[in-house]
Amino acid sequence: MAQPRIEVTAPARRPLRGGLSRAVQVRETFPDGTPIERLALSELFALSDACHAASCSWPAPCSGDVPPQGGKATSDCCPMLLTAQPFTVWAAQCTDLIDPVDAEARARAKLTTGQWQCVESQLWDFMAASATDVSPPGGSATGVAGAISALEAALGKVYDGAGIIHAPLMAAAMMGRDYQLCGECADDPTTWLGNRVAFGNGYTGNGPQGQVASPCVYWLYATSAADVYQTPILRAGANDLAANSSMWIAERSFAVLFDCPGVFAARVTDCCDCEAPADGPAITAASCA
C-alpha cells in the first residue's frame, strides 16, 4: 500500500554573503523616467569624471611651467563616456496540463533564484575578454595578498574611488586565512583599502587568456564601482494540447554599467597545503590541482 504524500514547503534559502548583488547598486528605473522595459532594446551610456583619463593638468605635474592665464588647460579635459550592452536571463518550467503545479510561479522562482549566477557568469566572460593582466611576469607564484595588492595598485592609477574585487567562491577562505578581508563576517566584505569584494557563484576563476582555473591557480579581477540595471520579470506561457503539456518562461534583462572602463586581472597561485614527498620532486602549482 502506497503511503500518502504530504506537500510541505522547501527549506528557506539563505543567500551567500558577498555576492555581486551586494557589491553593486541595483537600479530598476532610469533617471529621466524612460520606462525600464526599454532596457532590452537599448544601449546605456553615461558620463563619468571618476577616471584619471578624464582629468588633466598643464602640461605635466611638477614641470615648473605656468599654465595659460594661470588656469588649467582644457583642450583634452572631458568626462569619460561609459556604455553598457543589455543581456537577457530566462528560466522555463514545463508541466502537464492536468498537473495542479503552478508552472508560471515556478518559472518565476527559478529565475529569481538563479538570475545572479547568470549575471555573474556573463560578467566574468566580459572581464576576461577585456582585462589587462597585472600578474607578475614569468609565471612566478603570487598569493592572494599579492594579487589583491597588484589589482588595487593598477585600479588606483585609473580610478578615483572604491572599486570591486571580483573573486570565485574558492578564494573566500583563502582571503580570510590571509587576513585580506576587512570585516570578513559582514554581508559586504571589503579589502583594507575599502574596495568591495564580490564572491560570485557564477565566477569561474578562469584567466584573461582562457586559462582554466584550478583549486591552486585562479584569477581575480578588479573593476570600478558598477550599477546593474534590471527590468521587471516578464512571463509568457503556451499550451500544447496534443501533448497535454504547458510551458511558462520567465525572463528579465540586465545591463552592467561601470564607473570607469578599466578591468584588471591577477593570477593567484595558492599551493600552501601541497606537500612534496621526502624523496620525490617538488610539487608545483600546476600539479597541485
CATH of the domain at 259: 3.90.1690
| Distance of alpha carbon 289 from alpha carbon 269, whole angstroms | 11
Buried/exposed code over 13-52 (b: 16+ C-beta within 10 A; e: otherwise): eeeeebbbbbbbeeeeeeeeeeebeebbebebeeebebbe
What would the grid cell of residue 249 be?
518562461
- Residue 172 has φ and ψ, to the nearest 5°, of -60, -50
What would the grid cell of residue 142 be?
603570487
pLDDT band at residue 12 using 50, 70 and 90 as cut-offs: confident
Q: Is residue 283 part of a domain?
A: no
C-alpha closest to that of 157 among 267, 77, 53, 80:
53
Verdict on whether the full-model pTM lies above 0.95: no
Q: Is residue 169 part of a domain?
A: yes
Q: Is residue 279 part of a domain?
A: no
| Distance of alpha carbon 102 from alpha carbon 89, whole angstroms | 21
Residue-range definition of the domain harbouring residue 269: 20-55+79-273
Instruction: Encode pLDDT of 90-99 as tens digits.
Output: 898 887 776 6
Residues listed for the chain: 289
Which parts of 94-228 fold into alpha helices (H)? 103-130, 144-156, 170-177
What would the grid cell of residue 284 be?
608545483
Q: Is residue 68 part of a domain?
A: no
Residues near 180 by Cβ (< 8 Å), separated by ≥ 6? 144, 145, 148, 191, 192
Would you give the distance in Å from CA 152 to the centre of its chain? 16
Q: Is residue 73 part of a domain?
A: no
Q: Is residue 113 part of a domain?
A: yes
Pairing of strands 80-84, 245-258: unpaired
Position 282 pLDDT exceeds 60:
no
Would you give the distance in Å from CA 198 to the centre of its chain? 7
Instruction: Encode pLDDT of 155-211 as tens digits.
Output: 999 998 899 999 999 999 888 888 888 865 667 889 999 999 999 999 999 999 989
Q: Is residue 10 part of a domain?
A: no
Contact status, residue 117 vs residue 137, Cβ threshold 8 Å: no
Q: Is residue 285 part of a domain?
A: no
Q: Give, in degrees to the nearest 5, the angle at Cα 194 between 261 and 135.
A: 55
Number of domains in the chain: 1
